[in-house]
Amino acid sequence: MKGSKPLDWTQRIRVGSASLLLLVSSYGAAFQFLCNSMTCTITKWSPSEEGSFMLAHIPNDTVLLKLVNLKTNTFNLDTIDFVKTSGIGVEIERSSVKKVVMPAAGHITRLVLARTYLSDIVFDEGNERLASLIISDSRLKSIPSTIAQLAALKTIEISK
């Protein structure tokens, strides 16, 4: 309707140690933020539209951050790097992400990219934390040359 204001709705539900934050933006798009047992999952997040404010609510004991159906073409992992000062694993799955940038000073120790449109990944020189990299079901055509800059990398799995 012309002139009508869209409905903004926010609800936070806490059940035991689990917390769910459901936000519905002005135009009906929604993302979910759920933390339980040292794992936080953010579903249907569009960083350019919704910002990164919810990352400040990730508990300190979180060891895994899952981004499901991430809605962006390029994602710089520096966006989530302030979440923790110690190691954290990040999984990006079922997402339209085409390019991922891994910062040098990152705290991410494990990175999984599964069922994405990934065609390019860049690792900044000096990353001494990333120990495990798993890429599956992507559009990646070749192993990026910057992978040689990952000093701590012990495990690498890349499959189509």
Domain boundaries, the chain: 32-146
Overall average pLDDT of the 135-143 stretch = 94
Q: pLDDT of 28-40, one tens digit each?
A: 557 899 999 899 9
68, 94 Cβ separation under 8 angstroms:
yes
Q: What is the pLDDT of residues 97-120, one digit of tens each?
A: 999 999 888 889 999 999 999 999
Cβ atoms 151, 129 nearer than 8 A: no
- What's the CA gap between 84 and 9, in Å, rounded? 28
Q: Are 99 and 72 in contact (CB under 8 A)?
A: no
Find out whether 62 and 39 touch, Cβ atoms under 8 Å.
yes
40 within 8 A of 20, measured Cβ to Cβ: no
| pLDDT, tens digit, 9 for 90 and up, residues 40-66 | 999 999 998 888 888 888 888 889 999
The whole-chain average pLDDT of the chain stands at: 83
- Whether 4 has a pLDDT exceeding 50, the answer reads no
pTM: 0.80
| Predicted local distance difference test score (pLDDT) of residue 51 | 83
Compute the distance between CA of residue 111 and CA of residue 113 in angstroms, rounded to an integer: 7
